[in-house]
Amino acid sequence: MEISAKKRILSGIQPTGTFTLGNYIGAVRNWGLLQQEYDCIYMIANMHAITVRQNPADLRRQSREAAALLLACGIDPQKSIVFVQSHVPAHAELSWVLSCNTQFGELSRMTQFKDKSARHADNVNAGLFTYPVLMAADILVYNADLVPVGADQKQHLELARNIASRFNNAYSDTFTVPEPYIPKTGARIMSLQEPDKKMSKSDTNVNSFILMLDEPDAIRRKFKRAVTDSEGAVYASEEKPGVTNLMSIYSVFTGKSFEEIQREFEGKGYGEFKDAVAQSVIDVFSPIQNEYRRILADKNYLDGVLKAGAEQASRIANKTCAKVYKKVGFLQL
Ligand code: TYM
């Protein structure tokens, strides 16, 4: 990728398992769409993944699988940089400097830290606490203008903005202050079983999430079991979180507005509606699944993409890091 006048995008995803429908709608789908208009950098966040204990062999395998799935979703390595976070040491290097410009109180307020430390009470490690600083480094090291994420990452983005502004004020203009890019529909896809909770692959109930590699039968079955309400009418409302969630999914995959969906299913039951939602998901995921299997089978190609991606990313990141090291007074020889 050459230096251009286009604005820059950075985003990342953890390789902790197959992506969910929520990952796809909230983030990855948009990553593909934004490639035409922006210079995009997309990262497999394997360093973030170890804030929770991982099996090393699984993490290694899943990092390749995550890369294959991103490419299958339409991320084009000719247009965008795709790489694995640990292949670019500048992230960790910048993270240290930024952590010395972040307050303990700021990190204590992060809701994801509070949630995750409650869920993994036996392993509340320092990395889990300082994770948002590493995420700020991921973004700021590329001077990204825009960060496409789901709503759950908004607070981390706010922190990255605050850290950037604070550093710029203390050491002169250095970082671009990044803007979040959060989709209007589908910023927070909810659990199919408990629609007041975010859909998450770490949920213990497998019926609560759709994975991008789920077979069509599993997708149909999970939607059939999705929790709705007893009213039997398809319209969006705060009192109908289950139905509203299904409408968001259907809207994203068919391009139909909520009004159109309401009209389409007027007088029809939830059974028919759920089948249609399932089919819209299958229609999008089936070709991606085929492409995923094809790409994953070609390990040389995949590793070549990641190697080239790491080199391109390093060139940009090292420059920012060198500038920062100089500004904070680290001796240069
Ligand atoms: P992660 O791996 O948890 O999720 C990846 C992306 O998917 C979005 N997402 C959702 N969107 C809508 N509905 C849902 N149910 C849902 N679940 C997940 C997330 O918002 C995210 O955009 N910290 C990040 C990874 C990261 C990163 C970064 C992101 C590391 N460095 C720098 C942006 C910039 C994370 O854990 O995402």
Q: Where are the domains of the chain?
A: 8-186+298-328, 206-292
Q: N- to C-terminal Cα distance for the chain?
A: 31
Q: What is the pLDDT of residues 41-73, one digit of tens each?
A: 999 999 999 999 999 999 999 999 999 999 999
**Cα–ligand 1 centroid distance for 211 (angstroms):** 15
CA 143/CA 173 separation, integer angstroms: 11
CA distances from 59 to 44, 49, 289 (A): 11, 8, 20
Q: What is the pLDDT of residues 212-240, one digit of tens each?
A: 999 999 999 999 999 999 999 999 999 99
Taking residues 255-271, report their average pLDDT: 97
Q: Whose CA is nearest to atom 22 of ligand 1?
A: 149
Instruction: Decide which of 1.10.240.10, 1.20.1250.20, 3.40.640.10, 3.40.50.2300 is the CATH code for 206-292.
Output: 1.10.240.10
Taking residues 70-79, report their average pLDDT: 98
Where b means 16+ CB within 10 Å and e means fewer, 52-79 reads bebeeeeeeebbbbbbbbbbbbbbebee
Quote the pLDDT of residue 43: 98
Same fold? 8-186+298-328, 206-292: no
Taking residues 8-33, report their average pLDDT: 97
- The mean-pLDDT minimum among 3-7, 106-110, 179-183 falls in 3-7
Quote the pLDDT of residue 3: 57
Q: For 211, phi and psi rounded to 5 degrees? A: -95, 150
**pLDDT at residue 2 is higher than 90:** no
* Mean per-residue pLDDT over the chain, rounded: 97
**Cα–ligand 1 centroid distance for 135 (angstroms):** 11
**Cα–ligand 1 centroid distance for 153 (angstroms):** 6
Q: Whose CA is nearest to atom 35 of ligand 1?
A: 13
Residue of 9, 11, 13, 163 best suited for mutating to test ligand 1, as the one with most atoms within 8 Å of CB: 13
Q: Is 152 in the pocket of ligand 1 (CB under 6 A)?
A: yes
CA distances from 305 to 61, 120, 293, 311 (A): 16, 35, 16, 10
Percent helix, strand and coil across the chain, each rounded to 5?
55, 10, 35
Q: Is 144 in the pocket of ligand 1 (CB under 6 A)?
A: no
Tell me which residues are annotated as active site.
116, 198, 201
Q: Is 219 in the pocket of ligand 1 (CB under 6 A)?
A: no
CA 322/CA 317 separation, integer angstroms: 9
Q: For 160, phi and psi rounded to 5 degrees? A: -60, -40
Taking residues 85-112, report their average pLDDT: 97
CA distances from 273 to 82, 205, 232, 258 (A): 37, 23, 10, 13
Quote the pLDDT of residue 4: 72
Q: Is 46 in the pocket of ligand 1 (CB under 6 A)?
A: no
Quote the pLDDT of residue 5: 83
Total Cβ atoms within 10 A of residue 187: 19
Please name which of 7, 312, 309, 12 lies closest in space to residue 157, comparing C-alpha atoms: 12
Asked: is 8-186+298-328 a CATH 3.40.50.620 domain? The reply is yes
Taking residues 72-87, report their average pLDDT: 98
Q: What is the pLDDT of residues 152-182, one digit of tens each?
A: 999 999 999 999 999 999 999 999 999 999 9
